[in-house]
Amino acid sequence: MTKNKIDKVLTTKEKLFAELYVENFYSMTSKTNTQLAIEAGYAEESAHQRGYENTTYKLKPHVINYIEELKDDFRIRNQITPEKHMARLNHLSRVAEEKELLGAAVNAEVHRGKMAGYYVEKKLIGNASLEDLTEEQLDERMKKIEEQYDLITTHEDKNEE
């Protein structure tokens, strides 16, 4: 990526789009990037494309960098810290519990636990290719496939064998 692309000066529309994007990011409502582009002054016909471009680092790193600066500024101004976030979730949990909204209370507690690192989501992504398998593993895999798809073959197909 060229330094010129990163240091490029924002246009008025890009700047307004970034400001609206961050405002939307932290608001209770949610607008699409297309809606934000229209509000920033882009033509409706091209708003979808402009919203995409303004949120894609490879295309407009200067806009993304400005968005991140605005987010950091928002967090500093509003003193958003992990500790305050945990305290807020605790408060919401207690209020929900007092109102006997146990689902909401449990949800807040789960989110507190995730923040504290008590819950860790693990995903196993297997990407071994067939070339990596032994002949025995390939035979086992073929047997499983045959069993799985046996239900969709007709008895005539079996008799022909």
**Residue range 15-37, pLDDT digits in tens:** 999 999 999 988 877 899 999 99
Whether residues 97 and 71 share a domain: the answer is no
Buried b / exposed e over 131-150, threshold 16 CB at 10 Å, is: eeeeeeeeeeeeeeeeeeee
Residue 156 lies in a domain: yes
Here the tokens at position 56 are 């894609």
DSSP helix, strand, coil percent of the chain (3-state; round to 5): 70, 0, 30
- pLDDT, residue 39, reads 96
Whether residues 65 and 97 share a domain: the answer is no
Whether residues 63 and 111 share a domain: the answer is no
Q: What is the mean pLDDT of residues 86-93?
A: 87
Nearest C-alpha neighbor of 83 from the set 43, 52, 116, 107: 116
Q: Is the pLDDT of residue 110 over 90?
A: no
Whether residues 18 and 69 share a domain: the answer is yes
**pLDDT band, residue 5 (cuts 50/70/90):** low
19 and 63 Cβ atoms separated by less than 8 Å: no
Q: Is the pLDDT of residue 7 over 90?
A: no
Query: Whole-angstrom Cα distance, residue 54 to residue 10?
Result: 11
Percent of the chain with pLDDT over 90: 40
108 and 92 Cβ atoms separated by less than 8 Å: yes
Whether residues 36 and 9 share a domain: the answer is yes
Query: Whole-angstrom Cα distance, residue 5 to residue 115?
Result: 36
Percent of the chain with pLDDT over 70: 84
Whether residues 8 and 72 share a domain: the answer is yes
Query: Whole-angstrom Cα distance, residue 40 to residue 46?
Result: 12
115 and 85 Cβ atoms separated by less than 8 Å: yes
Whether residues 27 and 60 share a domain: the answer is yes
Identify the domain containing residue 146 by its residue range.
Answer: 130-160
> What's the mean pLDDT when you consider all of the chain?
84
Q: How much is the pTM?
A: 0.53
